[in-house]
Amino acid sequence: MIRYNFKEIENKWQLFWNKNKSFKSKLDKKKNKFYCLEMFPYPSGKIHMGHVRNYTIGDVLSRYKILTGFNVLHPMGWDAFGMPAENAARENKLDPKDWTNKNIYTMKTQLKKLGLSIDWDREISTCSEDYYKHQQLFFLELFEKGLVYRKENYVNWDPVDETVLANEQVIEGRGWRSGALVERKKLNQWFFNISKFSQELLDGLETLKSWPNKVKTMQKNWIGKSFGCEIDFIIEGKLPIKKIKCFTTRPDTLFGFSFLALSVDHEISKFYEDNKDFKLFKNECSKTGTTEEAIAVGEKIGFKTDLIAINPLNPTQKVPVYFANFVLMDYGFGAVFGCPAHDQRDFEFAKKYKLKIKTVVRPHDEEETFEVNEEAYPGAGVLINSDFLNGLEAPEKSVIETINILEKKKLGKKQINYRLKDWGVSRQRYWGCPIPIAYDENGKTVPIPRSMLPVKLPENINLGVKGNPLDSQNDWKKIIINGKKVTRETDTLDTFVCSSWYYLRFCSPKEKQYGYTKEEIDYWMPVDQYIGGVEHAILHLLYSRFFMKALGYKNNEFNVDEPFKSLFTQGMVCHETYKDNNNNWLSPEEVDSNDGKKYFKKNKPDEKIIVGPSESMSKSKKNTIDPEEMINNYGADAVRLFILSDSPPAKDVQWSEQGMISSYKFINKLWNMHNLIMEKLKDNEENKNFSEDINKYTNQLVDKINFNLEKFNYNVIIANLYQTYNFLNEKLKYKIDAKNLKKNYIKILTIMSPVIPHFTSECLEILGENQFQNWPKVNNKYLENEIVNIVIQINGKKRGVINVNKDINESNLIKEIKKDDKLNKFFDVNKISKTFFVKNRLMNILIK
RNA sequence: GCCCUCGUGGUGAAAUUGGUAGACACAAAGGACUUAAAAUCCUUGCCCUUUUGGGAGUGCCAGUUCGAGUCUGGCCGAGGGCACCA
């Protein structure tokens, strides 16, 4: 028998698909489309196992949809701008472009080795001018629509590298690369007005039926809608301040008012700028603000002003006004009314400064004399000590009633607030999409005219300088627009902007005039299935949803509101971690074991290894497995099979070398079985043995696979394939009808093909069949068995199984039970008090 | 602190959605073939019984039901998200 030569066979089919453009997609209005998209990779150098898992899941789905007759769009591209290229280039004195393109080449070659059904003619790269010129045009459009603006904002500033850092690049208050203490600095930044769409983005979530609830909840929390009211507090004091506006969700607790707290950035702070103590206080606040932990355990501190605030519902009550560290300027109005009895934060503040704590909500199960003393009570109850509000149900009724009263008295008005902040898109970096803006001598904004697009990145620049390299490019910066000398914006766009519309570009990757054509968008969008990691649950997915709404804003260009109809988030690929006695991480190749229990350093049995928990593969922990090596050793089909086999795609999967080997062996077993089948098919004799069995098995298998494909139970599909092998292998021991076997075998190869396409293409070719077969239809006739196993329970306990013809009725079943000696042992037919009969499945007999 | 998700053999996991718990695979132990190894194949897997059998059993405690891994309530544990959001 010929050994299965996976190298040769996989290479052969990959060349075939490439040469014949087997996965090229064309707009065809007569056919139903299916747009399958996986999150595109950052070209960091080589693909990792996470990519293998992500793209295998998408590939199985795409190939399945192709065979069921859909016009499938399955593209791939590169999220090619970003910091790593700039850093790598700086370290190795390279051009970021060269570094990136080299990586793209390597990774593309690797992806091709996986045998993915990608339409490579649609490949895009966000760092190419063909891509980012359209993005610059979008920027100008959004600017004209008023969805882009510039304002001063605080950023994380690395004083050593002279650059802005993203929040995740600040580790324990220090820059991740320089290690310098990060400062809060005010800078002029460009913003996308995403908060304008807060309500729409929230409403849109309701329409996304096929998104994981987890992701929807995360976005919902991120948008953070809250219902309440704004209240004007009358202020008394020496300053020229008459009133302060606050936002609150609990106006009903106004009678528990005890202080008013302001953010240190509140406009009133300008009156205190010369106050030494206030300066010290402000400084203290900025110190505690940096790390998350400091915030969590942070003490509430305040600075008492000489102002007095008046309770709008009880003008005789006057309370002090403080600046406080826990009040944020960019939420609400930067001012909070303090009700210590019913807000924990206010409670802690009141305790510290010995302010009055007045209980105004009594929980339903408490006495009339209930008083808050150990901690605030934010829950439901009845209003007390609140004059004309007494007796109202809190919070639902009381909040609405209080807002009505405030509105009537013109003291406040109903308001809805969102936590979602506008998206700052400026980055002081070279390797990104240039912002198509310039400034004149007076600093006035001048958009770059469309005729001057694209704004190309200058080449051959010196990356060795501190700060943004574009800033020192004078010949690039200084230009003339309409005869006027202007200076270019040197910031580039956040790379999340690039990934916010790439799904549109895949529909029209070659279009020159605009980022896409309407005709193609109308046909292909929305993405029917989007697949990627849950780490993008908020930012990337929210930005993409925003971008679609922003592009369609005012001209209602799109037929669809949401870019991604269904979302699937796959789990991570994990591996055990290893450390030696000196606490150094070791890679799996450096570790060996004789019995699978005790581990030691390879070739050094005396040096013991500490085996750590299985964690997500990462270079820093050295617990990575190189996909290319696995493909070289075991073949792409085996790797695809294994990455799907052990765990449901939504959960983390443990990489196991043993599991990998067993997948490899399985392909070889299938090959041996294939050769056995080829032998059997030479036998033209018509032996009807087992034909019905095989027909039935195949139909039931197809039915199961369909079900499991739709639900992403890919691990169960692999189990179904193993069962199929076990079934067929058993049947092949006997004589078998050749014609019928072939018919069923083709079906079986077809349903295997999304997972192991190289293998099935080869087998189908040997059989003289096309590798792309129509997906088999299920014949309902074969779904039910003539003989069924009925479980017999006595008083709810399983006592036996009876094999009978299907659809047997209850009385006939009881007759059968009477004949069964084993069952009769357990009960006396005359003592049956009640039976529960589930047709073709179960009978529960209750005995007196 | 708040929100979400999940607890099934030594391990990864199945369970037609309320009806035979542990499919399929990994690891382990025993065996067959072989001079031997590799490869391949078979058997076993908690407790009682020599076998036939029987019992317990899906984190823990209650409940609903003829029947609960699945539904309800409470508790315990693990993982993830958010961060003073008024």
In this prediction, residue A248 has a pLDDT band, given cuts at 50, 70 and 90, of very high
In this prediction, residue A757 carries a pLDDT of 97
Tell me the C-alpha distance between A131 and A516, whole Å.
11
Q: Torsions phi, psi of A2, nearest 5?
A: -75, 130
Q: Which two tokens stand for residue A64?
A: 């399945």
Global pTM value: 0.93
Q: Which residue is nearest to nucleotide B25 (CA to C1')?
A: A646
Q: How far is CA A457 from CA A97, A131, A140, A242, in A?
A: 10, 13, 18, 52
Mean pLDDT of chain A: 89
Tally the residues of chain A.
848
Provide the CA A698 to C1' B71 distance, Å, integer: 35
User: DSSP string spanning A270-283?
Assistant: GGGTT-HHHHHHHH
Region A618-632: mean pLDDT is: 91
Provide the CA A731 to C1' B60 distance, Å, integer: 47
State which residues between 442 and 481 of chain A bring their CB within 7 Å of strand B: none
Interval A657-667: pLDDT, tens: 889 999 999 99
Interval A329-357: pLDDT, tens: 888 899 999 999 999 889 989 988 999 99
Region A273-286: mean pLDDT is: 86
Provide the CA A753 to C1' B33 distance, Å, integer: 35
List, in sequence order, every residue forming a beta bridge with A226; answer none if it has no partner. Answer: A417
Amino acid at A367: E
Q: Of all nucleotides in the shown strands, which has a C1' nearest the CA of A791?
A: B20
ipTM of the complex: 0.93
Protein CB footprint (7 Å) on chain B nucleotides: 1, 3-5, 11-17, 19-21, 23-29, 39-41, 54-56, 66-68, 80-86
Is the distance between the Cβ of A821 and the closest atom of strand B smaller than 7 Å?
A: no
In this prediction, residue A203 carries a pLDDT of 93
Region A369-393: mean pLDDT is: 88
What percent of chain A has a predicted confidence (pLDDT) above 70?
Answer: 95
Sign, Cα dihedral of A101, A104, A109, A112 = negative
Q: How far is CA A197 from the centre of its chain?
A: 20
Q: Torsions phi, psi of A534, nearest 5?
A: -70, -15
Provide the CA A669 to C1' B33 distance, Å, integer: 19
- Contact yes or no for A836/A843 (Cβ under 8 A): yes
- Of A246-255, A293-302, A379-388, A562-571, least confident by mean pLDDT is A293-302
Provide the CA A213 to C1' B63 distance, Å, integer: 29
Q: How far is CA A714 from the centre of its chain?
A: 19
Region A718-740: mean pLDDT is: 91
In this prediction, residue A771 carries a pLDDT of 95
- Contact yes or no for A654/A709 (Cβ under 8 A): no
Provide the CA A796 to C1' B54 distance, Å, integer: 16
Q: Which residue is nearest to nucleotide B18 (CA to C1')?
A: A838
Q: Which two tokens stand for residue A386?
A: 């609140």
- Of A15-29, A393-407, A544-558, A649-663, least confident by mean pLDDT is A544-558
In this prediction, residue A136 carries a pLDDT of 97
Question: pLDDT at residue A510 above 80?
Answer: yes
In this prediction, residue A827 has a pLDDT band, given cuts at 50, 70 and 90, of low
Is the distance between the Cβ of A334 and the closest atom of strand B smaller than 7 Å?
A: yes
Tell me the C-alpha distance between A215 and A225, whole Å.
16
State which residues between 346 and 385 of chain A bring their CB within 7 Å of strand B: none
